[in-house]
Chain A
Amino acid sequence: MLRTTILLAGLLALTGGILPASASNAKRPATTPGHHVHVIVIDQMQYGPMPTDVHAGDIIEWANKDILEHSATARDGHFDVDLKPGTSGRITATAGTLAFFCKFHPTMTGTLVVK
C-alpha cells in the first residue's frame, strides 16, 4: 500500500511537473482576464496594420513572418523586442502613444495609441 501510494505520488508529481513546464513554454502566456492580445504582423519589411482600441494592460504582440530579423524598438527606449524570422515577441501596453521602429531597418516605423 505504501509502495502504491509512493508510486502514485511520484506519477502525480511527474505529471504536475510536466504540465506547468509545457504551459510555460507556450508562446502565449495567460493574460489577465479582460486584457486583449493585439497582433502586429511583420512581413516584407513592413509592420502590418496597427491595432485600434488598445487599452493599458493589453498585450501587444509582434509576429515576424519575414525572412529577415527585425525588432520593435521604442523611440523612447521603453522596450526593445528582438524578433528572429518566424518568431514573435510581446509587451504589456502602457497608456500613451507608442512610437517604435526596427533597429535593423530604420525605414520600418509604427505608431499606436494606447488608451
Chain B
Amino acid sequence: MNKPLLALALAFGIASVASVQAQTPPAASPAPAINDAQIAHIAYTAGVIDVTAAKQALQKSHNKAVRAFAEEMQRDHTAVNEQALALVKKLGVTPQDNPTSQSLASGAADEQKKLATLSGSAYDKAYVDNEVAYHKTVNGALSGTLIPSAQNAELKSLLETGLKLFQSHQMHAEHLAQSLK
C-alpha cells in the first residue's frame, strides 16, 4: 500500500477503534470519534486530492480513455465538493482541519511527486492503479467510519450519495486498469 493510502487506512483504523472504545463504557451521550466539522473536512479534502490528481493526469497523459476518466474525476469531485460547501454554509458549520485530513494531503502530495517522474504508459498505469486503490480506501472509510459517525442527517445523506458516485468511479477505474494491462 502506498503512503497516502496507508495514512488514510491508519487514520480511519484509529478512528474506528476510538469509536468502539467510546461506545464501550455506558455513557448517556458518547462523543463520536470525529465530529461533523471534521468529517466534512476529510470528505472535502479527499475530493480536492482527486481533482488535483486528475489535473496532473490531463497535463501528462495522451491516452484517450485515461484522459476521459480524469475529466470525469475532475468534473464529479468538483461538483460534489461544491454541494458539500453549500451544505456546510447552510448548516453554519466550519470544516475543521484534523490529523486525518493532514495525513491525506501530505500523502497525496508525495504521490503526485512520484507520478510526476513517470511518463507514457507507465504513468497511465500508475495513475489508474492509484485511483483504484484510492477510491477503494475512501469508499471503505465512507461506509465504515464517516457515514456511521455523521450526526447531521443532511451531511449523512450527501456522504451516502457521494459513496454511490465514488463506487461508480471505482468500477470505472477498475475497468480502465484492466484495459491498460
Contacts and interface: CB of A to CB of B under 8 A. Distances in A.
Interface stretch (B92-100, B110-118, B163-171): B163-171
Nearest to B162: A67
Nearest to A104: B72
Interface residues of B, number: 15
A69 B74 CA distance: 12
Interface stretch (A19-27, A29-37, A105-113): A105-113
B83 interface: yes
A69 B75 contact: yes
B85 to A, nearest CB: 13
A106 B161 contact: no
Contacts of A108: 168
Q: Taking chain A's interface residues, is the majority helix, strand, or loop, or is none over half, making it mixed? A: loop
Interface residues of A, number: 12
Given A68-B76, A69-B75, A104-B72, A45 B168 contact: yes
A5 interface: no
Interface of B: 68, 72, 75-76, 79-80, 83, 161, 164-165, 167-168, 171-172, 175
6 contacts: A44-B164, A44-B165, A45-B165, A68-B75, A68-B165, A107-B172
Interface of A: 44-46, 67-69, 85, 104-108
